A = this chain, B = another copy of it.
Amino acid sequence: MSLLVVGTVAFDILETPYGKTGRIVGGSGTYICYSASYFGLETRLVAVIGDDFPNEVIEDLQKRGVKTDGLQIKEGEKSFFWQGRYHDNMNKRDTLVTDLNVLADFDPIIPDTYQNADYVMLGNLTPTVQQQVIERLHQRPKLIAMDTMNFWMDHTPDELNQVLKMIDVLIINDEEARQLSGEYLLVNAARKIQEMGPKYLVIKKGEHGALLFHEESIFFAPALPLEQVFDPTGAGDTFAGGFMGYIAKTDDYSFDNMKRAIIYGSALASFCVEKFGTERLAELHKEELKARVQQFIDLMNVEL
């Protein structure tokens, strides 16, 4: 099975209570691809970078089975850049710098070799770009998932509402679900959001786990209580990459399999936060992932 991924491939400078990085590689597309690559499927990346982006990262992704025919490299231009600082408890962060650079006029071209993708993960980008990607696919994929953020709810609500009607799974956090629906209680937020288009809704709650909603069914997955959260950057994208990677690999988008996909996504995200940037994901072994998935299962195992 194949998974088409659209997202940013970019540079970050991160400040956490544990230190400050130099310019490191980040971006939603990067995290999604690293995460999805653990399932040994064909991941097809659509993104745009400048000529400043390190070739060895692209080669590392390729080695992991990520196709980069759709990765546009703009000569003489700079990659997207974000700098942020996390507060002491890591639950809040301030954006210090956002340089759109190549992202300002991103035209997501889908190479012919990417057509007929079975599954699609639309990372957080302008709703217009997300919609373009869907419209440029000759054949409707089996399942389209997408992420978004408060910024698009504030600034391009019409475009966001339009793309929401075209997708199957929305993956957002609790604050975003509340803002999108205007409902505080998540079960009510989920009902309203499902009426806006997506038949499936995943609400990420960070250290409090994640919820999956579909019609009247709900699944509540825990988060692993961690001893150290070093850098939360990319955890949400890593979750999404693991979630869709597992679904694509198993080629099964039943509610029961989505529950398993949430456990895999959560497990991968729990590694992501252990080091700065993509460092922990890049060095992760499959045996470690397997053991951590079992930790999640043990954490929530109860029999009456």
Q: Contact between B220 and A304 (Cβ–Cβ < 8 Å)?
A: no
Interface size on A, residues (CB 8 A): 36
Flag whether A228 is at the interface (Cβ < 8 A): yes
Given the contacts A220-B209, A222-B220, A259 and B302 also touching, CB distance less than 8 Å: yes
Given the contacts A209-B220, A222-B220, A222-B222, A188 and B300 also touching, CB distance less than 8 Å: no
Q: Contact between A302 and B225 (Cβ–Cβ < 8 Å)?
A: no
Report the stretch among A44-52, A57-65, A67-75, A179-187 that lies at the interface: A179-187
Of B88, B188, B209, B229, the contact of A222 (CB 8 Å cutoff)? B209
Name the B residues within 8 Å of A185 (CB-CB).
225-229
Name the B residues within 8 Å of A225 (CB-CB).
185-187, 190, 211, 218, 220
Please, how many angstroms separate the alpha-carbon atoms of A228 and B191 in the complex?
Answer: 13
Flag whether A297 is at the interface (Cβ < 8 A): yes
- Could you tell me which A residues sit within 8 Å of B by CB distance? 88-89, 184-188, 190, 205, 207-209, 211, 218-223, 225-229, 256, 259-260, 263, 293, 297, 299-304
